Amino acid sequence: PKGDVLATARIAGIQAAKRTSELIPLCHALPLSSVSIEEDVDTAAGTLTLIAEARTTAQTGVEMEALTAASVSALTVYDMLKALERGIEIASVALLEKSGGASGDWRRGE
């Protein structure tokens, strides 16, 4: 690989979350109070799960920022490992949960 894959993916995801309004048309710029990327490596299954969390004090949701962070983190992993494994697959990107804002709380599967 080109370097520390997970650290680079984490940095890329955080940077992407901060620039979501530049990447997604009509998406408002929001003040982010925190963005984090968690990794879960399952070597037996050969999978990597990336979970992004974004927070703001604004009165709106940060779903797009979290989804952008997760997506760009996954793309960064792909970019850094494609020379070693061409069959890498990015399987899914999904909102897991949301809290606060006008629409209230939501959790996938409930």
Q: How confident is the model at residue 110 (pLDDT cuts 50, 70, 90)?
A: confident
pLDDT confidence of residue 95: 96
| Beta-carbon count within 10 A of 66 CB | 27
pLDDT, average across residues 85-103: 91
Tell me which residues are annotated as active site: 79
Average pLDDT, the chain: 94
Q: Does domain 5-107 have CATH number 3.30.70.640?
A: yes
Higher pLDDT, 89 or 105: 89
Closest CA to 32 of 54, 59, 10, 63: 54
Percent of all residues in the chain with a pLDDT value above 90, rounded to a whole number = 85
Rounded Cα distance between 33 and 67, Å, is 16
pLDDT, average across residues 16-39: 96
pLDDT confidence of residue 49: 98
